[in-house]
Structure formats: structure tokens, C-alpha cells
Amino acid sequence: MGELKLRKGNEAIAEAAIRFGCDGYFGYPITPQSEILETLMVRKPWETTGMVVLQAESEVAAINMIYGGASCGKRVMTTSSSPGISLMLEGVSYLAGAELPCLIVNVVRGGPGLGTIQPSQADYFQATKGGGHGDYQLIVLAPASVQEMHDFVGLGFDLAFKYRIPSLILTDGVIGQMMEKVIVADQEPRWTDEQIQEISGEWATTGKTKDREQNIATSLILEAEEMEKHNHKLQAKYREIEKNDVRYEEFETEDAEYLMVAYGSSARICQKSVEIAREKGIKLGLLRPITVWPFPTIRLAELANQVKGMLSVEMSAGQMVYDVKLAINGKIPVEHFGRVGGMVPSPGEVFEAFEKLILGGK
């Protein structure tokens, strides 16, 4: 079951797309994620699984191709990096409004603007607080290894279709570019037309047959009363996701007196910082949100009864720290440490920040 391979994070995404039976990939090159489209073009899955791969003329076109494909009940995905994702956000809002399942990957780079091609986590707000217009959420998965890059393609699609919602893999240039061993999934067949009817027949635009009403993929509801109802329906769905699909991982939290909160590549760095602390006899633990939306709010609130302080570590000027503070609700001190603009902190640097900000400069 599964083959062991050595892969870049980006390559693992491409490989997983084929293996999990993705129907279509539509994307536009941008560093640091171009290997995804390149890998797919080399692998030519249209000759094996029948998966469609297309280099779109822009990110704007790519996300709207996703809208077109997702409307047909197909499992479609796109990938990009920060500036490209910004371009896609109108389409993402439409996808959320029309309740279309799909998978989007953001291999985050430093911003704002054209910024840098170096890794960053400064798109957290964009990913978890909407980003586009209107009240909507995406399921946001934050892989911390090449294995998770691979696995979350499958998980992202599963959750997207479970809730009829776009899933987003929020990763960064570190995970995208680094090579690790990965166990790749066995090849899954793409869904047949019959399976699509069974799974999405109620809404997918597969051609109006005589035995059913029209299916229309739209986010337009002109009457305010109806639009409010639609919003309430979306919000109810989001509450359901918050109840059922929060995912996180804990490291050395059992006896922890202090906690770091970090996701993705920052969590990998913090794991080492925790080891440094433990060597010095400091009982530091780590909580790694795997879903940054829905956020592990309840578990953090529980841990606030156990630890004396929390440090949110992100490669941003402090974004997730707001979610940590909301979860803790003033109970204990919460601080932020991060490098910005494409800089990656070292474990020692993070530990020092922890000492200064949480232990009080000891």
C-alpha cells in the first residue's frame, strides 16, 4: 500500500492530484509553486487517468475555470502563490457563494505587493477571514511536511465535497520547495458520470434531463430576504464544520507550562525550539493547528487553564495571534513572534523570543 518516494512539496501536490483522481487542474505559473504545473505537464495524466491539465492565461482565468469545472461536479483544483491568489479572490468568493467544492493551494511568499519569492505566512488573514467580498469561509488546511502536502490534496477534496465548500491548502515556499520522503497513495480512479450523479446530481450542471429541474450554479440572489436566508445557510454550514472538522496536533503539551502555537513550516521550527526549552528544563509545548480554519479554539481555551503563557509564532507581523487571543479571551498572556518579508526564523531565535516575551527576559 503506497510507494515511498523522495519528492519536493510542490511535486507531491501534483502527484497527489493524479493519485486522488482529480479531474482537472487549471493554473498559472508563479514562483514558488510552478513545479506543480510543470510536474503535471511532464506526467501527462490525460493519457492515464484522463485528468485535464491546462495552463490558463491568468490566475483570474484559472479560478474561473475552477468555477466552470466545479459546477459540473468534477474534482478540480488550482494552485498559486500570494499575488496570484489575490487575483483569484473574486472567483473564490463566487465559488463560496455558489457552494462549489474545489481545491485551491496557496504556496505563500512574502508580500505585500510583488514582494519576494521567499517563504512567508502573511496570507493567514486572507485565507481564514475571507479575503474576497462577502461573508464566507474556506476550509484551510496547513501542511507541515511533504507527506501532508500529498495527503491534504485527498483530504481537501473530501472536505470540499462533504460540505460543498472550497478547500484551501495554505502552505509556503519552505514546504513547497523542500524535499522529503513521502508515501504516495495508490491510484484512485476518477469519478464516473454515475458517481457524479450520485454525489452531486442535485446541483451539478451536467445537462438538464427530463426527470429533473434545471441545475444552476450561481451566487446571484437579488431579493435581500432570500440572500439573507442563503447567508444563514452558509453560516450554519460553517458552524457545522467548526463542530466536526477541527484538526490539530500537540507536541509535549501533557505537562506543559508554556505553549507555542504555530502552523505549517513555523511549527516545524517551533518543534525544535520546544526541544531546546526541554533540554533547559523549561516545560514548553506546541500546538499545531492543522486546520487554521476552523481554528482549534476550544482546545486552546482548555490549554489556557494549564499553561501560563502562549507564544504565537508565524512568519508574519502577527495574524494568527488574534485567533489565539480570541480563544484565550484574556485569561493568560499571549504574545507574537515572527519574521516577515520572506525571512525564516531559526529555532534558537524563536526560543530566545519565547524567553524574552513569555518568560520575561530571563
Query: Rounded to 10 degrees, what is the CA torsion of 246, 149, 161, 224?
Result: 70
Whole-number Å distance between alpha carbons of 286 and 324? 13
Binding test (CB under 8 A) with other proteins, winner from 10, 33, 49, 71: 71
* Smallest separation, CB 223 to other proteins (Å): 12
* Smallest separation, CB 88 to other proteins (Å): 11
Listed ranges 91-99, 146-154, 161-169, 303-311: which one lies at the site for other proteins (CB under 8 A): 91-99
Nearer to other proteins, 64 or 273 (CB): 64
List the Cα angle 323/106/129 in 5-degree steps.
30
Q: Does 154 bind other proteins (CB under 8 A)?
A: no
Whole-number Å distance between alpha carbons of 234 and 253? 35
Binding test (CB under 8 A) with other proteins, winner from 40, 96, 98, 184: 98
How many residues lie near other proteins (CB under 8 A)? 38
Q: Does 115 bind other proteins (CB under 8 A)?
A: no
3-state secondary structure of 173: helix
Whole-number Å distance between alpha carbons of 28 and 33? 10
Binding test (CB under 8 A) with other proteins, winner from 44, 208, 229, 232: 208
| Residue 269: all three cell numbers together | 521550527
> Cβ neighbours of residue 55 under 8 Å, at least 6 residues apart?
27, 28, 29, 37, 41
Residues 39-68 that bind other proteins (CB under 8 A): 52, 54, 56-58, 60-62, 64-68
| Residue 116: all three cell numbers together | 519576494
Residue 215 amino acid letter: N
Residues 220-239 that bind other proteins (CB under 8 A): 220
Q: Does 195 bind other proteins (CB under 8 A)?
A: no
Binding test (CB under 8 A) with other proteins, winner from 209, 225, 254, 362: 209
Nearer to other proteins, 116 or 215 (CB): 215
Q: Does 217 bind other proteins (CB under 8 A)?
A: yes
Whole-number Å distance between alpha carbons of 268 and 315? 12
251, 286 contact by CB (below 8 A): yes
Binding test (CB under 8 A) with other proteins, winner from 74, 150, 164, 339: 74
Q: Which residues share a beta bridge with 310?
A: 259, 334
Phi-psi region of 106 (alpha: psi -120 to 50; beta: other; left: phi over 0): beta
Binding test (CB under 8 A) with other proteins, winner from 9, 45, 69, 173: 69
Binding test (CB under 8 A) with other proteins, winner from 38, 90, 252, 349: 90
Q: Does 210 bind other proteins (CB under 8 A)?
A: yes
Binding test (CB under 8 A) with other proteins, winner from 20, 28, 94, 136: 94
Backbone angles phi, psi at 315, to 5 degrees: -85, 65
3-state secondary structure of 309: strand
**Positions in the binding site for other proteins (CB under 8 A):** 23-24, 26, 52, 54, 56-58, 60-62, 64-69, 71-72, 74, 76, 90-91, 94, 98, 205-210, 214-220
